């Protein structure tokens, strides 16, 4: 069976684009082949900075075929009184591209219809692949795209396309680039062009003649293994950084680690400064000894096999030395200035123009941190308040001015050097965390509190100014900050009411010209956080209907919401779950349609003297039992016990519905029965929105 390979060649693609593109291309091809009924053995996608490739093994030469019944107009319309096709019948035949002789009458429950059996598929794979290839390339997603004159967009300019089914070129065109049988290699080690005679020869030509290592995992292993060999030469270990290994692998088509050295004097710099200089700015790895102390060496990855490695090494050492000289200058300059001196400058640093200065922000953060300590019963209030007030002082330091990634980190280091308590310096060091979905949260509770104060202040301020993210636009990273808030609350198990927190944040602002009503801003913000919470839970594999049911019952307290979610999931494993959901959805529907939607003023109590038969009396007794213990169980957050009560409640409610007319003609009876159901609806709605549980 034939093999297929398609390679899209382009100018150097940013490293961060490649892994998502590789996964996406593979998935697109699998879906397209299945949709087109083309069988195959396996697919695999590859990428380098200059190419994106998809390989399909053992592809069928023809599409699978199947018979499909296509119905047209009713026979009463398709035929005249002489049993000849009418214009409607003839039109159906033309639309299906068939002769009239192929049509027949098809009987259904609704009558006879004109019909035809059509064969779907069966075409040669080679004739279907051009459409698949074009659609696959055009549907790839990029964080940023470049546009051509014919409106085609792609991450970088496309320079060549190779597409082969065995030895046959699959012809198609993307913008002004036509597919063919040639590829290009490494810019230095094998530039090409190289003619590929068949799909089976592609991998051999790419690796042996073009000088390209196509598999990113193989490139990463080369970096790991060769770097370890070089580190062993100086009795060191690589400072582990898997993200940097993948990034450097995606920056090269033929990775080649090189060991470099820098002067011992730069080891006086904090570890974080040295690693940032090497990793963030030079894409190089630091080396450390067995005691995790940095060594005066670094490892860089070049995309070449130079004849004079020493010359290349000296070039990298010269560049890093310049960076470290700058860092040393900033380090010495900053140590001559106190934190209080820098703190005094924050009033001249703009946070967001309408929201005042960074000095205003930290004073608000101090108040919010105090509020959080009070709400959560935290004792070390003084240290946390002090950390909140000075946590942004490093923004006016020389080091952070040059190395922005070190904000917060340098503040913590400077606080430690000035003799502040460890709780203060550590909280400052951590208060920007988490910085992303994979980033760790603060390791100390003090750092977590200041991080929450910082994020809450920014979120409320931006929503009050109507700076709400839309689409992909999120200039103030509000999605990331709300997710950070969620992760801290859940990982530290903080029993915190967000509505009250955001209301307090409003009170810390003074003299701001808001763009929208602050109550609306808070409501919008709570919904925004709920959306992020939904994505967070679903990202962990939780069923979407359970998530919706919990969120729609309220998310003021995220920890409580997660406990309700866990209890609901456990409740769903009981045999009576589906009948219970249907019963409680029925309560919700009646209350909404006969009470809320009609304007009837429902109450949280009923009149026992109006209870009539045994079924109504049984429900009344059950309601009184639930009322007696519900609030206590809720305060204890024993949601498993609350859900367990529903098993006992359901048969009583079912009997009530089967034997009692809720909408009785007597107004007093009708209102009393609705109020009985409303008592249940109020409490059930706090647990979950059962109408969201489609069963």
Residue 537 sits in a domain whose CATH number is 1.10.3210
How sure is the predictor about 12, in pLDDT bands with cuts at 50, 70 and 90?
very high
* Pair (368, 440) in one structural domain: yes
* Model confidence pLDDT, tens digit, residues 192-223: 899 999 999 999 999 999 999 999 999 999 99
* Pair (198, 327) in one structural domain: no
* Model confidence pLDDT, tens digit, residues 511-552: 888 998 999 999 999 999 999 999 999 988 998 899 999 999
What is the sign of the dihedral through the CA atoms of 268, 272, 276 and 278? positive
* Pair (51, 136) in one structural domain: yes
Residue 549 forms part of a structural domain: no
* Pair (413, 495) in one structural domain: yes
DSSP state of 473: B
Tell me the range of 264-268, 647-651, 655-659 where mean pLDDT is highest.
Answer: 264-268
CB 235 within 8 A of CB 288: no
pLDDT at residue 86 is higher than 60: yes
How sure is the predictor about 578, in pLDDT bands with cuts at 50, 70 and 90?
confident
Q: Would you list the DSSP string of 594-614?
A: IIITTT----S---GGG--SH
pLDDT at residue 570 is higher than 70: yes
pLDDT at residue 596 is higher than 60: no
* Pair (316, 448) in one structural domain: no
> Of 15-19, 76-80, 344-348, 529-533, where does mean pLDDT reach its minimum?
76-80
Q: Residue 356 belongs to what H/E stretch?
A: strand 356-357
Mean pLDDT to the nearest integer, 570-592:
84
Residue 134 forms part of a structural domain: yes
What is the sign of the dihedral through the CA atoms of 95, 97, 103 and 108? negative
What does the pLDDT read at residue 652? 86
* Pair (205, 224) in one structural domain: no
Residue 561 forms part of a structural domain: no
Mean pLDDT to the nearest integer, 318-345:
94
Mean pLDDT to the nearest integer, 449-471:
93
β-pairing, 158-165 vs 177-180, is: parallel
Strand, coil or helix: what is 367?
A: helix
Residue with tokens 């470290």: 324
What does the pLDDT read at residue 169? 92
> Mean pLDDT in the chain?
89
What is the sign of the dihedral through the CA atoms of 107, 113, 119 and 120? negative
Residue 43 forms part of a structural domain: yes
> Of 177-191, 304-318, 460-474, where does mean pLDDT reach its minimum?
460-474
For residue 629, give the CATH number of its domain: 1.10.730.10
Distance CA 341, CA 334 (A): 11
- 616-622: Cβ within 8 A, 24+ apart: 616/656, 616/660, 616/673, 616/676, 618/652, 618/655, 618/656, 619/652, 619/653, 619/655, 619/656, 619/676, 620/676, 622/648, 622/649, 622/652
What does the pLDDT read at residue 121? 66
Mean pLDDT to the nearest integer, 646-673:
83
Distance CA 219, CA 207 (A): 12
Q: Residue 334 belongs to what H/E stretch?
A: helix 309-335
Distance CA 166, CA 628 (A): 76
CB 499 within 8 A of CB 556: yes
* Pair (514, 573) in one structural domain: no
Mean pLDDT to the nearest integer, 257-274:
95
Residue 241 forms part of a structural domain: yes
* Pair (231, 299) in one structural domain: yes
What does the pLDDT read at residue 74? 86
How far CA 403 is from CA of 508, 571, 629, in Å, comes to 31, 51, 58
How sure is the predictor about 680, in pLDDT bands with cuts at 50, 70 and 90?
confident
What does the pLDDT read at residue 188? 92
Whether the link from the prior residue into 434 is cis, omega within 30° of 0, is yes
* Pair (263, 321) in one structural domain: yes
Last residue of a domain, one of 121, 142, 165: 121
Mean pLDDT to the nearest integer, 607-633:
83
Which residue did the predictor score with more confidence, 604 or 129?
129
Residue 555 forms part of a structural domain: no
Distance CA 504, CA 511 (A): 15
Residue 546 forms part of a structural domain: no
Which residue did the predictor score with more confidence, 592 or 422?
422
What does the pLDDT read at residue 149? 63
Distance CA 255, CA 252 (A): 5
Taking alpha carbons only, the member of 197, 153, 194, 193 closest to residue 174 is 153
Residues spanned by the domain of 506: 350-541
* Pair (375, 329) in one structural domain: no
pLDDT at residue 595 is higher than 70: no
CB 238 within 8 A of CB 287: yes
Distance CA 390, CA 474 (A): 27
What does the pLDDT read at residue 209? 94
Neighbour count for residue 392 (Cβ, 10 Å): 25
What does the pLDDT read at residue 598? 53
* Pair (255, 291) in one structural domain: yes
Tokens of 377: 């019963």
Distance CA 261, CA 297 (A): 4
Mean pLDDT to the nearest integer, 438-458:
95
Taking alpha carbons only, the member of 544, 521, 517 closest to residue 533 is 544
* Pair (162, 278) in one structural domain: no
Q: What angle do CA 324, 329, 332 make, to 5 degrees?
A: 120
What does the pLDDT read at residue 235? 93
Residue 554 forms part of a structural domain: no
- Write the CB contacts of 402 (distance below 8 Å, at least 6 apart in sequence): 326, 327, 330
Whether the link from the prior residue into 193 is cis, omega within 30° of 0, is yes
Tokens of 553: 């019952």
pLDDT at residue 695 is higher than 60: no
Output phi, psi for 322, to 5 deg: -60, -40
How sure is the predictor about 691, in pLDDT bands with cuts at 50, 70 and 90?
confident
Distance CA 251, CA 301 (A): 9
What percentage of residues in the chain have a pLDDT greater than 70?
A: 98
pLDDT at residue 457 is higher than 80: yes
User: How many CA atoms does the CB half-sphere of 34 hold within 13 Å?
Assistant: 8
Mean pLDDT to the nearest integer, 654-681:
83
Taking alpha carbons only, the member of 416, 360, 349, 351 closest to residue 387 is 416
> CB burial class (10 A; 0-12, 13-18, 19+) of residue 430?
buried
Distance CA 202, CA 251 (A): 22
How sure is the predictor about 599, in pLDDT bands with cuts at 50, 70 and 90?
low
pLDDT at residue 5 is higher than 70: yes
In total, how many domains does the chain have?
5
Last residue of a domain, one of 209, 240, 269: 209
How sure is the predictor about 247, in pLDDT bands with cuts at 50, 70 and 90?
very high
Residue with tokens 């309408």: 354
Last residue of a domain, one of 154, 189, 209: 209
490 dihedral zone (left: phi>0; alpha: psi -120 to 50; beta): alpha
Mean pLDDT to the nearest integer, 54-79:
83
Distance CA 138, CA 436 (A): 29
First to last CA, the chain: 45
CB 357 within 8 A of CB 349: yes
Mean pLDDT to the nearest integer, 124-149:
87
């Amino acid at each position: 069976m034939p093999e297929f390979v398609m390679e899209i060649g382009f100018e150097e693609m940013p490293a961060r684009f490649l892994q998502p593109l590789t996964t996406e291309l593979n998935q697109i091809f699998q879906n397209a082949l299945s949709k087109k009924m083309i069988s195959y053995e396996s697919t695999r996608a590859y990428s380098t900075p200059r190419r994106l490739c998809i390989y399909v093994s053992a592809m069928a030469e023809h599409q699978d075929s199947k018979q499909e019944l296509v119905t047209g107009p009713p026979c009463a319309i398709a035929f005249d009184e002489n049993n000849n096709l009418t214009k409607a019948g003839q039109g159906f035949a033309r639309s299906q591209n068939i002769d009239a002789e192929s049509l027949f009458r098809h009987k259904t429950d609704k009558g006879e219809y004109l019909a035809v059996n059509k064969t779907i598929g069966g075409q040669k794979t080679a004739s279907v692949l051009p459409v698949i290839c074009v659609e696959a390339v055009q549907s790839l997603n990029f964080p940023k795209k470049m546009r051509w004159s014919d409106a085609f967009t792609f991450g970088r300019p496309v320079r060549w396309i190779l597409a082969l089914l065995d030895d046959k070129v699959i012809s198609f065109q993307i913008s002004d680039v036509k597919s063919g049988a040639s590829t290009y290699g490494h810019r230095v080690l094998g530039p090409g062009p190289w003619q590929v005679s068949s799909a089976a020869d592609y991998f051999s030509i790419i690796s042996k003649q073009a000088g390209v290592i196509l598999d990113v995992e193989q490139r990463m292993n080369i970096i790991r293994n060769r770097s370890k060999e070089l580190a062993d030469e100086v009795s060191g270990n690589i400072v582990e950084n898997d993200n940097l290994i993948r990034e450097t692998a995606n920056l090269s088509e033929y990775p080649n680690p090189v060991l470099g050295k820098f002067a011992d004097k730069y080891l006086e710099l904090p570890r974080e400064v040295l690693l940032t200089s090497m990793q963030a700015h030079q894409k190089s790895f630091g080396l450390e000894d067995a005691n995790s102390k940095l060594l005066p060496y670094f490892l860089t990855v070049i995309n070449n096999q130079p004849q004079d490695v020493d010359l290349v090494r000296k070039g990298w050492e010269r560049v890093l030395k310049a960076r470290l000289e700058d860092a040393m200058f900033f380090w010495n300059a900053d140590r001559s200035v106190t934190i209080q001196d820098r703190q005094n400058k924050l009033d001249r640093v703009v946070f967001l123009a309408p929201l005042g200065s960074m000095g205003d922000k930290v004073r608000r953060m101090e108040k919010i941190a105090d509020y959080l300590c009070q709400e959560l019963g935290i004792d070390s209030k003084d240290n946390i308040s002090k950390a909140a007030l000075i946590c942004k002082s490093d923004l006016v330091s020389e080091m952070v001015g040059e190395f922005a990634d070190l904000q917060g980190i340098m503040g913590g280091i400077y606080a430690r050097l000035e003799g502040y308590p460890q709780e203060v310096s550590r909280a400052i060091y951590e208060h920007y965390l988490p910085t992303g979905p994979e980033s760790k949260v603060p390791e100390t509770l003090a750092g977590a509190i200041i991080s929450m104060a910082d994020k809450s202040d920014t979120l409320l301020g931006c929503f009050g100014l109507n700076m709400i993210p839309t689409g992909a636009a999120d200039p103030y990273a509000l999605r990331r900050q709300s997710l950070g808030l969620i992760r801290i609350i859940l990982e530290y198990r903080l029993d915190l009411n967000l509505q009250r927190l955001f209301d307090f944040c409003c009170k810390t602002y003074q003299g701001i010209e808001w763009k929208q009503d602050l109550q609306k801003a808070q409501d919008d913000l709570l919904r925004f956080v709920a959306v992020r919470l939904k994505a967070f839970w679903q990202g962990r594999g939780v069923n979407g209907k359970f998530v919706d049911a919990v969120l729609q019952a309220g998310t003021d307290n995220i920890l409580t919401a997660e406990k309700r979610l866990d209890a609901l999931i456990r409740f769903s494993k009981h045999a009576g779950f589906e009948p219970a959901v249907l019963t409680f959805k029925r309560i919700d529907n009646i209350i909404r349609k006969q009470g809320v939607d009609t304007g009837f003023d429902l109450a949280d109590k009923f009149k026992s003297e109006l209870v009539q038969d045994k079924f109504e009396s049984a429900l009344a007794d059950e309601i009184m039992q639930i009322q007696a213990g519900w609030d206590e169980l809720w305060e204890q957050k024993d949601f498993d016990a609350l859900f367990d009560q529903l098993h006992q409640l359901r048969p009583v409610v079912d009997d009530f519905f089967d034997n009692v007319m809720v909408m009785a003609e007597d107004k007093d009876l009708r209102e009393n029965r609705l109020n009985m159901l409303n008592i249940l609806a109020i409490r059930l709605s706090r647990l979950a929105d059962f109408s969201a549980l489609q069963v």
